[in-house]
């Protein structure tokens, strides 16, 4: 948002064009507006003398260049970049919590991880910070090059290589190649961290290269790992018995990534324990609500194939502690030519689950529905939200665990709010 003394970058997006808001930014006190072209309204702004106008070839490139310049003013801040198909935000938050035990730590807010969000995050760095932990998300070729050019992370983490944005990036191999650039196209890299069980671990090790340190993380770091359903998990790290409140094995993997980075920078296992035991969920990322005798797992901020598979596994593990497990799943978007195949895989996975009810929403989920029908199951599917809401509301009852997940564009939080209202 523009404000007194700010710099406004006129960026062009799919829905609107920032150049339309230059006069408004000037009215709000912006000291400078960075634009790619002039319009009659921008010319009037120049004539009024309300703010300076800087004409550039590419407003986004200018924003990234300014962010890079600002970041480079703090060479003593150790930067950690985190990428992957899923788990980035949780891993970022856990890593920042651990490193905060060692010194002042800054991290990106929410999921500001894109070619716009990451540069904006740079301006939160201050001279008293010892560590910076930033999420790096991509959905097209070449984007990681730009993000690495802004952040220059000394430590890179790849949580996993899945199928998120496969419709744009083309294939899982292409996803691995692009995300691997956090290592291969990063001259500042000192150490790379990769999930020991990832199918692309060997490829990513090659991307790190022999001249930099390479570490794996995962289940082998801990002993006595035990899932506790909706209460999280327990495990022993070194000599520390840890109760980790975030649910599912997938969140345990995120915790191990954070612990590995923490150990690299000198955190003790006692410090790691304190940070992990104080972890809390974020909006739409494994939040658990209780309303009207129903437990609602809201994991609907975003979704990809691997994340859906993981939450199905979690619900199956938790089935013994609840009356029934009910899945409410929205479409996975941006899957391109692989969409039907990916959704069919979800259907086949669900067919082996302990679910008492399966509710599918969105055009793309028809492929999952068909796979379930072929497996002899009786799921519900609708492309219309209102039909989904009524069917779910009529089905659920006290004692159920309702798992809600889907791509951000499906706005699955609507069904969560509907179910929460039953307890009012």
In a domain, 87, yes or no: yes
219 with 99, same domain: the answer is yes
123 with 270, same domain: the answer is yes
**pLDDT given at position 285:** 63
Q: Name the nearest CA neighbour of 133 among 172, 89, 67.
A: 89
**H-assigned helices in 213-365:** 249-264, 269-277, 305-318, 339-351
DSSP 45-60: HHHHTSSEEEE-S-HH
**pLDDT given at position 43:** 94
297 with 256, same domain: the answer is no
**pLDDT given at position 1:** 65
Q: Which two tokens stand for residue 244?
A: 């980790």
Triad 316, 313, 414: Cα angle to 5°: 85
Q: Which two tokens stand for residue 83?
A: 């990428």
Our count of domains for the chain comes to 3
Instruction: Among 277, 299, 325, identify where a domain stops.
Output: 277
Helix (H, G, I), strand (E, B) or coil at 335: coil
16 with 76, same domain: the answer is no
Q: Where are the beta strands (DSSP E) in 169-273?
A: 191-195, 213-217, 223-227, 233-237, 240-244
Q: Where are the beta strands (DSSP E) in 21-154?
A: 32-35, 52-55, 78-83, 105-107, 131-135
> Can you give the CATH number for the domain in which 231 is found?
3.40.1190.10
Residue 164, Cβ density class (10 Å: 0-12 exposed, 13-18 middle, ≥19 buried): buried
Q: Name the nearest CA neighbour of 283 among 298, 296, 294, 295.
A: 298
Q: Name the nearest CA neighbour of 113 among 154, 78, 84.
A: 84
Q: Judge whether 309 and 349 are in contact, CB under 8 Å.
A: yes
**pLDDT given at position 186:** 96
Beta bridge partners of 405: 329
178 with 222, same domain: the answer is yes
263 with 301, same domain: the answer is no
235 with 113, same domain: the answer is yes
CA distances to 1, 149, 286, 312 from 107, in Å = 20, 18, 20, 30
In a domain, 216, yes or no: yes
CA distances to 305, 346, 366 from 358, in Å = 17, 11, 13
190 with 240, same domain: the answer is yes
Q: CA 345: distance to chain centroid?
A: 22
Does the CA dihedral 299-313-323-383 come out positive or negative? positive
**pLDDT given at position 257:** 98
In 3-state terms, the chain is what percent helix, strand and coil (to 5)? 45, 20, 35
In a domain, 241, yes or no: yes
On whether the pTM is more than 0.75, the answer is yes
pLDDT in tens, the chain (424 residues): 678 899 999 999 878 899 999 999 999 999 999 999 999 999 999 999 889 999 999 999 999 999 999 999 999 999 999 999 888 989 999 999 999 999 999 999 877 888 999 999 999 999 999 999 999 988 888 999 999 999 999 999 999 998 777 777 778 899 999 999 999 999 999 999 999 999 999 999 999 999 999 999 999 999 999 988 778 899 999 999 999 999 888 899 999 999 999 999 999 999 999 999 998 765 556 788 888 889 998 888 777 888 888 888 888 877 777 889 999 999 998 888 889 999 999 999 999 988 999 999 999 999 999 999 999 999 999 999 999 999 999 999 999 999 999 988 899 999 999 998 875 5
**pLDDT given at position 330:** 94
> Can you give the CATH number for the domain in which 304 is found?
3.90.190.20
**pLDDT given at position 214:** 98
101 with 71, same domain: the answer is yes
Q: Domain of 330?
A: 287-423
CA distance 229 to 223: 18
124 with 151, same domain: the answer is yes
Residue 238, Cβ density class (10 Å: 0-12 exposed, 13-18 middle, ≥19 buried): middle
Cα within 13 Å of Cα(146), Cβ side: 22
> Can you give the CATH number for the domain in which 21 is found?
3.40.1390
Instruction: Among 246, 277, 308, identify where a domain stops.
Output: 277
98 with 222, same domain: the answer is yes
Q: Judge whether 295 and 289 are in contact, CB under 8 Å.
A: yes
Beta bridge partners of 380: 359
238 with 170, same domain: the answer is yes
In a domain, 1, yes or no: no
């Amino acid at each position: 948002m523009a404000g007194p003394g700010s710099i406004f970058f006129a960026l062009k997006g799919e829905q609107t064009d920032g150049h339309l808001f230059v006069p408004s930014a000037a009215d709000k006190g912006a000291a400078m507006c960075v634009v790619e072209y002039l319009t009659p309204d921008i010319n009037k702004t120049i004539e009024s003398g309300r703010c300076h106008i800087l004409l550039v070839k590419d407003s986004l490139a200018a924003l990234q260049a300014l962010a890079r310049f600002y970041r480079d003013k703090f060479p003593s801040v150790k930067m950690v970049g985190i990428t992957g198909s899923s788990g980035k935000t949780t891993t970022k938050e856990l890593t920042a919590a651990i490193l905060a035990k060692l010194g002042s730590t800054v991290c990106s807010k929410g999921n500001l991880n894109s070619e716009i969000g990451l540069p904006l995050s740079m301006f939160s760095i201050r001279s008293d910070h010892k560590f910076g932990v930033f999420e790096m998300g991509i959905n097209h070729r070449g984007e990681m090059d730009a993000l690495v050019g802004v952040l220059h992370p000394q430590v890179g983490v790849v949580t996993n290589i899945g199928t998120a944005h496969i419709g744009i990036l083309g294939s899982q191999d292409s996803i691995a190649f692009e995300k691997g650039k956090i290592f291969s196209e990063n001259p500042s890299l000192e150490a790379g961290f990769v999930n020991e069980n990832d199918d692309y671990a060997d490829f990513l090790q090659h991307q790190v290269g022999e001249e930099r340190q390479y570490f794996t993380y995962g289940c082998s770091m801990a002993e006595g790992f035990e899932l506790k359903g909706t209460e999280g998990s327990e495990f022993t790290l070194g000599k520390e018995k840890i109760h980790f409140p975030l649910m599912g094995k997938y969140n345990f993997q995120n915790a191990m990534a954070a612990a590995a980075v923490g150990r690299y920078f000198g955190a003790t296992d006692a410090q790691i324990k304190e940070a992990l035991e104080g972890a809390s969920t974020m909006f739409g990322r494994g939040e658990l609500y209780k309303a009207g005798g129903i437990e609602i797992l809201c994991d609907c901020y975003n979704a990809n194939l691997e994340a859906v598979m993981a939450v199905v596994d979690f619900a199956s593990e938790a089935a013994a502690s609840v009356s029934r497990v009910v899945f409410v799943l929205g479409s996975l978007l941006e899957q391109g030519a692989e969409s039907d195949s990916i959704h069919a895989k979800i259907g086949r996975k669900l067919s082996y689950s302990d679910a008492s009810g399966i509710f599918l929403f969105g055009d793309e989920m028809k492929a999952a529905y068909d796979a379930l029908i072929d497996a002899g199951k009786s799921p519900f599917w609708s492309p219309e939200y209102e039909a989904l809401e009524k069917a779910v509301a009529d089905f659920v009852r006290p004692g159920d665990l309702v798992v809600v997940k889907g791509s951000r564009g499906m706005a699955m939080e609507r069904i969560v709010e509907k179910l929460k209202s039953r307890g009012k």
